[in-house]
Amino acid sequence: MSRAVLMKTEDGGLGLATLSDDNCIHMWSRQDVTNDIDGWVKHKVIKLRKLLPRRVSSCKSDQVVGFAEGTNTVFVNISTGIFTLDLKSKKVRKVGEREGNRSDLIL
């Protein structure tokens, strides 16, 4: 798994989003697991590969890099650029370019 990004869950709780090597976004939420002990529970997996344009390639350095709470959007840094994923509509949009270790947002 790559690095995790904090996010708000659908019910307003604390959540995490990560991107696995197989290009799936794993979403976790903090929940009561047993006897009032909180733990991280995976509650959703989104297959990003199916949502991206076919010409987009991936690599091991791909990662989730941010979350916009008001729009419920995840930012993902992939080998060919920075993309947003709207978690409700599942729409993906390219919002930045990536060259080597540098990424530029297109605003």
Per-residue pLDDT of the chain (107 residues; tens, 9 = 90+): 468 899 988 888 899 999 988 888 999 998 877 777 788 899 899 998 888 877 776 666 688 888 998 899 999 988 788 899 999 999 999 998 876 665 555 55
Rounded distance between C-alpha atoms, residue 12 and residue 24, angstroms: 23
Rounded distance between C-alpha atoms, residue 94 and residue 84, angstroms: 6
What pLDDT, on a 0 to 100 scale, did the predictor assign at position 104?
55
- Which residues neighbour 60 within 8 Å (Cβ) at sequence distance 6 or greater? 21
pTM: 0.81
